[in-house]
Amino acid sequence: MRNPVAMITGASRGIGRGIAIELARHGYDIIGTATRLTPEDRERGLFEVRERVDEFGVRFVPLAGDIGETADRNRLVEEAFAAFGHVDLLVNNAGVGLLQRLDILETTEESFDRLIRINLKGPFFLTQAIANRMIGQVKAGTSYVPAIVFITSISSNTASPNRAEYCVSKAGLSMAAQTFAVRLAEFGINVYDVRPGIIATDMTAPVTEKYDKLIAEGVLLQKRWGTPEDVGKAVAGLAKGYFQYSTGAVIEVGGGFSVLRL
């Protein structure tokens, strides 16, 4: 029997890297995307991830492209299906942070457009393209029931006025997850919204001191930073079918951030 195939966007580092390694541990062949390929760099990037994935005896196909660009996105879909003929799990992880944190009263259109293009428009239309092919797999009788995971953020429902456009992009992505869950339910294709909290990655490194202080003051029930491995384990649980009767579910990986307290 063939291995299931997972396509993970933004797999070269951080959360995407953690997801790729965890799914490989569970026997998934991996299609990992990034904006560029650097085969000479075995310490960072997709080719470092491929070496880690190889340790589990599964295949890793690195692909380069900007999901926010239509031509790149369409090419990624074609190359992914050319590599394996099917995608059983799509993990929409690729995204960017702000180039500069500005008050919402000073946010620029350029920054807003960049965040929406990469964080929302790209995953939305990538999912549309992959979902249509997944429907074909279901109708043809697939070995694995396909599923889709959106990696959003606690910023989907937590307002930060100094990075409003990021919050808006993630809130939109969470609604995309809900809407695709509704549309794809008739085909048995589950869709999930995984919301990481304060995760130790390159994106959060510049604000380490801020979050160290917040964690020490009790903003989280579990007083530690989250890791990409924490998110990877959540995605693996969804991929393995442990939440089969939970399409549309929101899974927070945030150390208890959202628990209301007095």
Task: Give the residue numbers annotated as catalytic, written as ranges.
Answer: 166
Per-residue tokens: 175: 């609604």
| Pair 7, 88: CB distance under 8 Å | no
Residues in Cβ contact with 113 at an 8 Å cutoff, skipping those fewer than 6 apart? none
Contacts of 13 (CB under 8 A, 6+ apart): 44, 45, 201, 202
Contact 114, 55 (CB under 8 A): no
C-alpha 215/C-alpha 117 separation (Å) is 31
DSSP letter string over 117-151? IIIIIHHHHHHHHHHHHHHHHHHH--SS--EEEEE
